[in-house]
Amino acid sequence: MSTTDARRQDAVRPDTEVIRSVLDGRWAESRRAIRALADDPLFHPVSGLSVEAYRDRVWHQMTTLAADGRIRVGFPAAHGGADDVGSWITMFETLAHADLSLLVKAGVQWGLFGSAVLHLGTRHHHERYLDDIITLRLPGCFAMTETGHGSDVQALRTTAVHDPATDEFVVHTPDADARKDYIGNAARDGRSAVVFAQLTTADEEHGVHAFLVPIRADDGSPLAGVTIGDCGDKAGLRGVDNGRLGFDRVRVARENLLDRYAQVAADGSYTSPIANPNRRFFTMLGTLVQGRVSVAGASGSATKSALTIAVRYAERRRQFTVPGTDDEVAVLDYRAHQRRLLPALATTYAMHFAQSQLVEELRSVLGGDDTHAQRELESRAAGLKAVATAHATTTIQECREACGGAGYLSENRLPQLKADTDVFTTFEGDNTVLLQLVAKELLTGYREQFGNLDFSGTVRFVSEQVVETVVERTAGRSLIQRLVDAVPGRDEDADLRDRGYQLKLFESREKHLLDGAARRLRRASGATGTAAFDAFNEVQDHLLTAARAHVDRVVLEAFVAAIDTCADTAATALLDRVCDLYALSTIEAHRGWYLEHDRLSPARSKAVTATVNELCAELRPHARQLVDAFAVPDAFLGAAILD
């Protein structure tokens, strides 16, 4: 029919299974195991349930998951697990193709509540609680956020005062602003909660620490002194019982302090292996990094589900005829439609590989004692979480619109995907705040001193350094260096599809943005108080752009490294084109910057747009294959328009 159809015939078509196995990577088996849940109707996404019925259903799904024991894999061998955090995160990521309320509920129970006990607690906590947590005999909450403080965790106002008379902690909510808010598992199912509170012993304040606080009796009624509210209806995740917790001088035993990083003795004396309170606090938070990695992965899966629906629909949906014929045009043949879906698809591929790399890093760093690697991991997790969740939000929205009226009906799943994932940009760290952390990490070689949002500190610190930012390379270092070095001397001579040239453009943008931000902050040297805030604030958007540019570069490098591991020629050729589309559509999005900084000439900038269009046309015949390689089971997609 159209030339596009002709091109479709020509293309050398790799085997979908090959691409799938490149995507599936090391934990392919874990992915397959979760995909197999699609055979059980219990795990199919549904819509239109009442809140109560939905919560019941999710609870039933949870108990089913708990019963078959597969979630043990991420826990220690002593508790029947395999200590395999990579497999656990991959399973979690894959589960995000099923109902996202289940995903979040599982994330709260095992990923947050369970991990907090595992990583912030010590042996006696593990022995006493972990099995019950794994089997769901002890449903629990992760109660950090308060009504008044979400992003600024150090400013939490719930108190935990050691009472030497009884050797207990008194957990207390001083006012409504300090009640715990949005807490998953709190409104209905939780029996216990890890509560973050300001610890005071013998009149000394030690900052935020985590305590295990029972909240409900076995019959489900709140324990004495505990007030529990329901957050009510939400945009999505309506199967998750988010709630509010207040404590009126609730007493817990001293053992309920999760005491891996700080211990309180019976007499109230306080000890910690980490002297600096700031560092201690961020070390504790750092152990919870897998939550962010999980959300980044889950965003990727939801994005893949949405793209699978939208691309498959766009292949079959026809609207308007080719002039002079009765043939109706498949909407994916329209350039405008390709523009809406294919760069997003390419970006989803790129992020997939960055995510896999991050999980690898998590696996190798977690539990070790390389604090530099740990900070690097946290920063990378923060950055990728922010970028992946933002990508999910815009892409799922685009997919909804790309399906026209059908995209608005629940029977076609996109409404649930949109509503459920909408909070991903907010929880596990608000994206703006996370990107800011990334920028600060990048700006200093002395990561230990940062991590908090002490503006004057930042300004002063940066000003004291001879700041020369270093672009650190990710996996595949030597490969990438080789590609960059091979770029011809004059950039204008390079082919736009030259990978080294693309890498160079990404890298130079990151470096220039970071250098500029550092210079601007240095100029504000010595400012304090409001002046320091103003100086920081002047640079804030610049910092955020720099952080994004950093993540973009990390993502591209991960894609390049992943393609390098693929042995199949046809698959490599296709993935190379997908990578071109990711790289060039990203450059196109930032072409204003490249033109302003003379990294692209006007003619070359226009050529970038033309090449993106070409790549869309070249990939259009492969679009179906590229989404099929995501291997989302039809029953998980749950979209009637694909029937």
Ligand X SMILES: Cc1cc2nc3c(=O)[nH]c(=O)nc-3n(C[C@H](O)[C@H](O)[C@H](O)COP(=O)(O)OP(=O)(O)OC[C@H]3O[C@@H](n4cnc5c(N)ncnc54)[C@H](O)[C@@H]3O)c2cc1C
Q: Which residues contact 246 (CB under 8 A, 6 or more apart)?
A: 173, 176, 179, 180, 226, 227, 228, 229
- Give the contact letters, 303-332, x = binds to ligand X (CB under 6 A), - = no: --------------x-xx----------x-
SS3 for 19-43 is HHHHHHHHHHHHHHHHHHHHHCHHH
**How many residues touch ligand X (CB under 6 A)?**
33
Strand, coil or helix: what is 442? helix
Rounded Cα distance, 581 and 559, in Å: 12
Binding test (CB under 6 A) with ligand X, winner from 18, 95, 144, 388: 144
Q: Which residues contact 84 (CB under 8 A, 6 or more apart)?
A: 73, 74, 363
CB 561 within 8 A of CB 357: yes
Query: In the complex with ligand X, which residue's Cβ is closer, 320 or 446?
Result: 320
> Which residues between 429 and 488 bind ligand X (CB under 6 A)?
430, 432-433, 453
Q: Which does 565 bind (CB under 5 to 8 A by kind): its own copies, ligand X, none?
A: none
Binding test (CB under 6 A) with ligand X, winner from 53, 77, 408, 482: 408
Query: In the complex with ligand X, which residue's Cβ is closer, 86 or 343?
Result: 343
Burial class of 274 by CB neighbour count within 10 A (0 to 12, 13 to 18, 19+)? middle
CB 608 within 8 A of CB 588: yes
Per-residue tokens: 545: 């752009």
Query: In the complex with ligand X, which residue's Cβ is closer, 338 or 357?
Result: 338
Of the chain, the end-to-end C-alpha distance in Å amounts to: 25
Q: Which does 457 bind (CB under 5 to 8 A by kind): its own copies, ligand X, none?
A: its own copies
Query: In the complex with ligand X, which residue's Cβ is closer, 371 or 540?
Result: 540
Residue 226 sits at φ, ψ, to 5 deg, of: -105, 125
Query: In the complex with its own copies, which residue's Cβ is closer, 52 or 68?
Result: 52
Q: Which does 183 bind (CB under 5 to 8 A by kind): ligand X, its own copies, none?
A: ligand X
Minimum CB separation of residue 594 from its own copies in Å reads: 8
Q: Which does 489 bind (CB under 5 to 8 A by kind): ligand X, its own copies, none?
A: none
Minimum CB separation of residue 556 from ligand X in Å reads: 26
Query: In the complex with its own copies, which residue's Cβ is closer, 214 or 229?
Result: 229
Rounded Cα distance, 113 and 143, in Å: 9
Minimum CB separation of residue 184 from its own copies in Å reads: 11
Minimum CB separation of residue 277 from its own copies in Å reads: 16
Minimum CB separation of residue 47 from its own copies in Å reads: 5
Does residue 337 bind ligand X (CB under 6 A)?
Answer: yes
Does residue 284 bind ligand X (CB under 6 A)?
Answer: no
Query: In the complex with ligand X, which residue's Cβ is closer, 336 or 567?
Result: 336
Q: Which residues contact 477 (CB under 8 A, 6 or more apart)?
A: none
Query: In the complex with ligand X, which residue's Cβ is closer, 377 or 439?
Result: 439
Binding test (CB under 6 A) with ligand X, winner from 16, 122, 145, 263: 145
Q: Which does 411 bind (CB under 5 to 8 A by kind): ligand X, its own copies, none?
A: its own copies
> Which residues between 388 and 407 bind ligand X (CB under 6 A)?
401-402, 404-406
Minimum CB separation of residue 465 from its own copies in Å reads: 18
Minimum CB separation of residue 136 from ligand X in Å reads: 16
Q: Which does 592 bind (CB under 5 to 8 A by kind): its own copies, ligand X, none?
A: its own copies
C-alpha gyration radius of the chain: 25
Query: In the complex with its own copies, which residue's Cβ is closer, 458 or 474?
Result: 458
Minimum CB separation of residue 294 from its own copies in Å reads: 18
Query: In the complex with ligand X, which residue's Cβ is closer, 42 or 433?
Result: 433
Does residue 581 bind ligand X (CB under 6 A)?
Answer: no
Residue 590 sits at φ, ψ, to 5 deg, of: -105, 20
Does residue 151 bind ligand X (CB under 6 A)?
Answer: yes
Rounded Cα distance, 600 and 171, in Å: 59
Q: Across-strand partners of 146? A: 180
> Which residues between 66 and 125 bind ligand X (CB under 6 A)?
108
Does residue 423 bind ligand X (CB under 6 A)?
Answer: yes
Q: Which residues contact 105 (CB under 8 A, 6 or more apart)?
A: 58, 59, 62, 184, 185, 239, 240
Burial class of 493 by CB neighbour count within 10 A (0 to 12, 13 to 18, 19+)? exposed
Q: Across-strand partners of 159? A: 172, 198
> Which residue has its beta carbon closest to ligand X?
150
Q: Across-strand partners of 162? A: 169
> Which residues between 181 and 200 bind ligand X (CB under 6 A)?
182-184
Rounded Cα distance, 132 and 135, in Å: 5
DSSP string of 36-70, one letter each residue: GGGGSGGGS---S--HHHHHHHHHHHHHHHHHHTG
Does residue 233 bind ligand X (CB under 6 A)?
Answer: no
Does residue 161 bind ligand X (CB under 6 A)?
Answer: no
CB 158 within 8 A of CB 196: yes
Minimum CB separation of residue 544 from ligand X in Å reads: 9
Rounded Cα distance, 46 and 49, in Å: 8
Minimum CB separation of residue 245 from its own copies in Å reads: 14
Of the candidate spans 5-13, 207-215, 419-427, 520-528, the one that interacts with ligand X by CB under 6 A turns out to be 419-427
Minimum CB separation of residue 587 from ligand X in Å reads: 25
Strand, coil or helix: what is 317? coil
Residue 359 sits at φ, ψ, to 5 deg, of: -65, -40
- Residues making contact with ligand X (CB under 6 A): 108, 142-145, 150-151, 182-184, 234, 237, 242, 317, 319-320, 331, 334, 336-337, 401-402, 404-406, 408, 423, 426-427, 430, 432-433, 453
